[in-house]
């Protein structure tokens, strides 16, 4: 197995998390009132915590407390999962895979019933060409739904997409909980690639392909939120500039 696809999937996952964290920090800094930030974040926080709940159910962890939304965000408290090591990885990274699936469903809804138009996204990022195609698709979404023709429901779509992208990345506590498991999974993947064992490589390839599709969707929606947030970047740069004396 060529190690490049495995490394690209890892890089895609890191890119999705970086975009999510960067945009979350930007919106928190730029919005003048805390309740406005909470309004922007609300749908994403609720879906984020629901993904953790599903992760707990899948791994056999007992849920002791769920806070879907509060002034501090949300949280899910649970006991140790029945699946050792990998269980923590599944629970902690659940929003990273679950939120793109929810956004895919939202995209289908807005496309099928609310007249918005969306071009197909590449199924995986495996070259500079597919990354360029993804960027072109994202730009065309804005042109098709705001410039060439105005679809009012597209504004709601942008709100939901941005909110969910801001909550896509695992929290710092999630990463702490799953740090050992993530490192172990990555190391195991490299060992399998180096070993060349056919059946193990085949399993790794299938897992990598599934993860790659999830991260590609996450990256696509992250780019949509990034384009929408460009005015905020400019405004933040303006208010952060040093005053002339």
- Residue 139: how many CB atoms within 10 A of its CB? 14
Where is pLDDT greater, at 103 or 132?
A: 103
pLDDT digits 0-9 by tens, 150-175: 999 999 999 999 999 999 988 888 88
pLDDT digits 0-9 by tens, 50-86: 999 999 999 999 999 999 888 878 889 999 899 887 8
Q: Which of 82-91, 173-182, 209-218 has the highest mean pLDDT?
A: 82-91
What mean pLDDT value characterizes the chain? 86
Question: Model confidence at 1, in pLDDT bands (50, 70, 90)?
Answer: low
pLDDT at 158: 95
Residue located via tokens 């597919």: 130
pLDDT at 72: 78
pLDDT at 215: 84
CA separation for the pair 44, 46 (Å, rounded): 5
Average of per-residue pLDDT across 39-45 = 93
Residue located via tokens 């995209």: 107
pLDDT at 66: 92
Residue 243 has pLDDT above 70, yes or no: no
Residue 16 has pLDDT above 60, yes or no: yes
Tokens of 97: 């895979």
Where is pLDDT greater, at 228 or 244?
A: 228
Report which of 65, 125, 74, 64 is spatially closest to residue 95, judged by C-alpha positions.
74
Q: Which helix (H) or strand (E) holds 76?
A: strand 73-78
pLDDT at 119: 86
Report which of 178, 218, 183, 216 is spatially closest to residue 20, judged by C-alpha positions.
218
With a threshold of 0.95, does the pTM exceed it? no
């Amino acid at each position: 197995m060529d190690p490049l696809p495995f490394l690209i999937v890892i890089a895609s996952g890191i890119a999705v998390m970086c975009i999510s964290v960067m945009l979350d920090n930007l919106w928190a800094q730029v919005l003048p009132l805390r309740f406005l930030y909470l309004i922007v974040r609300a749908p994403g926080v609720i879906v984020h915590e629901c993904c953790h709940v599903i992760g707990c159910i899948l791994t056999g962890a007992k849920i002791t407390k769920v806070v879907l939304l509060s002034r501090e965000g949300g949280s899910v408290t649970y006991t140790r999962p029945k699946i050792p090591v990998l269980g923590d990885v599944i629970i902690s990274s659940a929003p990273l895979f679950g939120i793109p699936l929810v956004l895919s469903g939202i995209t289908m809804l807005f496309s099928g019933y609310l007249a918005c138009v969306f071009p197909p996204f590449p199924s995986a990022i495996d070259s500079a060409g597919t990354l360029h195609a993804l960027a072109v698709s994202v730009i065309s979404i804005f042109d098709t739904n705001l410039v060439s023709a105005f679809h009012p429901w597209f504004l709601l779509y942008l709100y939901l997409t941005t909110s969910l992208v801001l909550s896509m990345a695992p929290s710092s506590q999630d990463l702490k909980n799953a740090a050992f498991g993530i490192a172990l999974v990555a190391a195991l993947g490299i060992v399998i690639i180096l070993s060349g064992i056919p059946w193990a490589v085949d399993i790794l390839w299938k897992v990598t392909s599934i993860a790659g599709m999830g991260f590609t969707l996450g990256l696509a929606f992250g780019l949509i939120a990034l384009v929408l947030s460009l005015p905020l970047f400019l405004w933040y740069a303006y208010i952060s500039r040093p005053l002339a004396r």
